[in-house]
Amino acid sequence: MTAYIDKIGQFEGQEVTLRGWLHKRRSSGKIHFLTVRDGTGFIQVVMSKAAVGEETFHRADHLGQETSLIVEGTVRADPRAPGGYEIDVDTLNVVGESRDYPITPKEHGVDYLLDRRHLWIRSPRQQAILRIRHVVVDAVRDFLNSRSFTLADTPIFTPAACEGTTTLFPVQYFDNETAYLAQSGQLYNEANIMALGRVYCFGPTFRAEKSKTRRHLTEFWMVEPEMAFATLNDAIELGEALVVAIIARVLETRRQELETLERDTTSLERVQAPFPRITYDEAVETLKAKGQPFKWGSDFGGTDETVLAEQFDQPFAVHRFPSALKAFYMKPDPDRPELSLSVDILAPEGYGEIIGGGERLDDLDELLARIKKHGLSQKTFEWYLDLRRYGTVPHSGFGMGIERVLTWICGLEHLREAIPYPRTLNRLYP
């Protein structure tokens, strides 16, 4: 009977076949302790010379870390085992040898590990992160699907900048025209809601910023919901509910992984809607009161975000940023046109911005003026302008960075651990 470690308790007292990899080996003269992992968990396999005989026992003398193997043995409950069970082995077969595995139980540097990311993901900590990532993605999709959102994927090759400010990756392939890798599905989402009402796109996003910080990747995953007939407030409420749903699902199903990561979950337990909300103006006042040198009209730096986050013990929303700070499609506040109907949701504990969005400009003439003012080509945006010509409606949405959310949930030091194969300024391998 083939068994998997996460469900091994069902087989107590029974003979099972376990297929996996040798994680670690400890040995005495007449007993081997093999920690085996099979992709679902870790378990200690005990091999005594008396039970298996001289030949099998000596075959296990030199098993290297990460040797793939098939063991047959009896499941036994043991209070000494971290998972509650051990396996007393009868037979052991090596599937693939492994000599001089480069990632040892000792600590390694970041660059060394990233060069071996294809192996690093085998370690317990990285497995835990990737499992939680899966649950986050799953929770996002379930949440949006259950609220009548339709997944409508947006293109990766795009003809121009969605947001003029950031840098794009050019691709030379299409005749007479440079294509760029998408940095947002935003504009296409706006077309899609006019067909489907509520939509989201969920895929990789590319930013050619020369960012060298623990908060940036050049390729990252973003979910972007967009709603027709929706205000800034609707977008904030959706964002809150989404974050709450993700945290609840992770706490519900991935306790063990959070423990592996030694994540103190008390701050996650506190997360509930509604989040504290402050205006940009209030945020500036707070920063000044806390002695930060900050001028109205500039964007928050990393330190500013941390100082603001210290005021709250859960995620919080900052809304109504100056229009000059935000993309051309952001709708101005009717009461104060110098402000935009925009929102950022920031994670607590200094993890920074996880959501950015707002209400979109739905008036044709105003949008035309913005495009001119930003020096963008009207021709490129004709299709986007059509959305204002044929039955425009107020609409809102946001983007949420999956790795940023995961970094916060897992309490990671670096964003690059939150994605299987991180792409940063200087990294394209493996």
Is 207 a binding residue for RNA by CB under 7 A? The answer is yes
Is 100 a binding residue for RNA by CB under 7 A? The answer is yes
Is 420 a binding residue for RNA by CB under 7 A? The answer is no
From edge to edge, which strands make up the β-sheet containing 316-319?
150-151, 198-206, 219-228, 395-401, 352-359, 342-347, 316-319, 277-279
Question: β-strand 179-181 against 198-206: which pairing, if any?
Answer: unpaired
Cβ nearer to RNA, comparing 329 with 384: 329
Is 424 a binding residue for RNA by CB under 7 A? The answer is yes
Binding mask 114-143 for RNA (x = CB under 7 A): x-----------------------------
Distances (CA, A) of 171 to 210, 231, 340: 18, 36, 33
Is 374 a binding residue for RNA by CB under 7 A? The answer is no
Q: Give residues with Cβ within 8 angstroms of 53, minimum separation 6.
A: none
Identified binder of RNA from the candidate list 166, 253, 265, 292, rule CB under 7 A: 166
Span interacting with RNA, options 193-201, 208-216, 374-382, 387-395, rule CB under 7 A: 208-216
Is 353 a binding residue for RNA by CB under 7 A? The answer is yes
Cβ nearer to RNA, comparing 64 with 274: 64
Distances (CA, A) of 162 to 190, 223, 253: 12, 16, 37
Is 22 a binding residue for RNA by CB under 7 A? The answer is no
Q: How many residues bind RNA (CB under 7 A)?
A: 77
What is the footprint of RNA within residues 308-337 (CB under 7 A)? 325
The answer to whether the peptide bond before residue 274 is cis (omega within 30 degrees of 0) is: yes
Cβ nearer to RNA, comparing 174 with 288: 288
Identified binder of RNA from the candidate list 190, 226, 240, 305, rule CB under 7 A: 305
Q: Give min distance, CB of 286 to RNA, in A.
A: 17
DSSP secondary structure of 220-273: EEEEEEEEES--HHHHHHHHHHHHHHHHHHHHHH-HHHHHHTT--THHHHT--S
Q: Give residues with Cβ within 8 angstroms of 224, minimum separation 6.
A: 184, 185, 186, 189, 200, 201, 202, 397, 398, 399, 400
Q: Give min distance, CB of 157 to RNA, in A.
A: 19
What is the footprint of RNA within residues 54-83 (CB under 7 A)? 62, 64-65, 78, 80-82
Is 274 a binding residue for RNA by CB under 7 A? The answer is no
